[in-house]
Amino acid sequence: MASVKINYKDEKRRFPLTTNKFDELAAQIKTVLNLDAGVHLVLRYKDNEGDLILFNSDKELADALAIKHDLLSVHVKVSKKGCDKKDKKDKKDKKEKKDKKDKKDKKDKKEHDPANPDLAASSESVSSSEETPEEKAKRKEAKKKAKTEKKAAKKAKKAAKKAAKKDAKALKKKEKAEKKLHEPAESSDSSEDEAVHAKKVALKEKLRVAKEELHTHEHAFHKAKREAKKEFRDFKNQHKAEHAAAKATKSGEKAAAAAAAAKPSDDHSAHHHDASLDSKITAAILDD
């Protein structure tokens, strides 16, 4: 017969397994641990790989028993979400009943309240047919007067609230000024406070000077950088112009040399032409 070993907090229990139903096993565990029947249990078992596997059905219990034949080690935890559903429902029903009762009491009180405007309006509508024109005019005047007084009272209340707020603000400001006035006297009593204050001022001044120097150096660096860039750009343009001029000069010299080399060959061809003409004339004379 298989056994169940349960681990709950620091408590360990062992008992024989007499069922293959999950609900019955859960009930048995609650009994062994003296837990309320309404609590919800979260049960896990350790498989062959050492992982904790959650199970909450008959099929999963059967799988767990197939892995752990003789001893099923179960880790038990009480879920906070799993409170007794019946208790929750009872609480909900009680709240609904209380709300209904409060609502009814409020309604009854409103209906029997003589200051209720709706009730007064209904009584007025009943008796309005019996009123004379003078009484009707007086009632309207009284209503208008009450409305004006109510408005004036509301306005006065608002003004008083504003004035009180203003006075409180002025008082707070006065207290703050007095506190500030007494602060130097208190600080002057302690030489240590004065030394700390002086050191703080000196360090602040040192930081300010360092910051200004850093700003000056940064400005000088950026200026030198701009000047270097401009100088390099001018040098590059000048070098390009000189290179172009040298190239043009070289091309001109080559053209002049080519022209000079072509001129003697022209003279030689002309001389050769004259010599051949002379030989032709001499040959013609000899034939005659």
Q: Are residues 15 and 78 in the same domain?
A: yes
- Of 19 and 118, the one with more pLDDT: 19
Same domain for 73 and 46, yes or no, is yes
**Which pLDDT does position 95 carry in this prediction?**
81
69 and 111 share one domain: no
What is the domain count for the chain? Answer: 3
- pLDDT at residue 229 is higher than 60: yes
Same domain (yes/no): 52, 24? yes
Identify the band that residue 42 occupies on the pLDDT scale cut at 50, 70 and 90: very high
User: Mind listing the pLDDT tens digit for each residue in 150-175?
Assistant: 889 988 988 998 899 888 888 888 88
C-alpha 132/C-alpha 95 separation (Å) is 52
Same-domain pairing of 56 and 116? no
Task: Note whether 44 and 68 are same-domain residues.
Answer: yes
Which tens digit of pLDDT belongs to each residue from 122-133? 444 545 556 788
Give pLDDT, residue 189: 52
Tens digits of per-residue pLDDT, 13-31?
999 988 889 999 999 999 9
**HSE (side-chain half, CA atoms, 13 Å) at 203:** 6
Please state, in angstroms and rounded to a whole number, the distance separating the CA atoms of residues 197 and 71.
76
pLDDT at 188: 47
- pLDDT value for 22: 93
Condensed to tens digits (0 to 9), the pLDDT of residues 172-193 reads 888 888 877 766 544 445 566 7
Answer with the one of 31, 59, 83 that is the final residue of a domain.
83
pLDDT (0 to 100) of residue 184: 53
Q: What is the pLDDT of residue 187?
A: 46
Is residue 249, in this structure, part of any structural domain at all?
Answer: no
**CB–CB of 3/15 below 8 Å?**
yes
Which CATH number is 53's domain given? Answer: 3.10.20.90
Whether residue 12 is contained in a domain is answered as yes
- pLDDT (0 to 100) of residue 126: 45
Domain assignment present for 109: yes
| pLDDT confidence of residue 268 | 53
Q: How confident is the prediction for the chain on average, in pLDDT?
A: 80
For the chain, the three-class secondary structure string (H helix, E strand, C coil) is CCEEEEEECCEEEEEECCCCCHHHHHHHHHHHCCCCCCCCEEEEEECCCCCEEECCCHHHHHHHHHHCCCEEEEEEEECCCCCCHHHHHHHHHHHHHHHHHHHHHHHHHHHHCCCCHHHHHHHHHHHHHHCCHHHHHHHHHHHHHHHHHHHHHHHHHHHHHHHHHHHHHHHHHHHHHHHHHHHHHHHHCCHHHHHHHHHHHHHHHHHHHHHHHHHHHHHHHHHHHHHHHHHHHHHHHHHHHHHHHHHHHHHHHHHHHHHHHHHHHHHHHHHHHHHHHHHHHHHHHHHC
In a domain, residue 158? The reply is yes
Residue 228: inside a domain: no
The arithmetic mean of pLDDT across residues 58-74, rounded, is: 87
In a domain, residue 184? The reply is yes
The reply to whether 28 falls in a domain is yes
d(C-alpha 14, C-alpha 32), whole Å: 9
Give residue 167's domain range: 154-189
Boundary of a domain, candidates 68, 83, 98: 83
Cα-trace Rg, the chain: 58
Choice among 53-62, 130-139, 168-177, 261-270 with the minimum mean pLDDT = 261-270
| 121 vs 113: CA distance, rounded Å | 13
Residue 229 lies in a domain: no
Residue among 22, 13, 85 at smallest CA distance from 54: 22
Q: Is the pLDDT of residue 9 over 80?
A: yes
Relative to beta strand 41-46, strand 3-8 is unpaired
**Does the predicted model carry a pTM greater than 0.85?**
no
On whether both 76 and 118 belong to a single domain, the answer is no
Give the pLDDT score at 113.
55
pLDDT of residue 172: 87
* pLDDT value, residue 71: 86
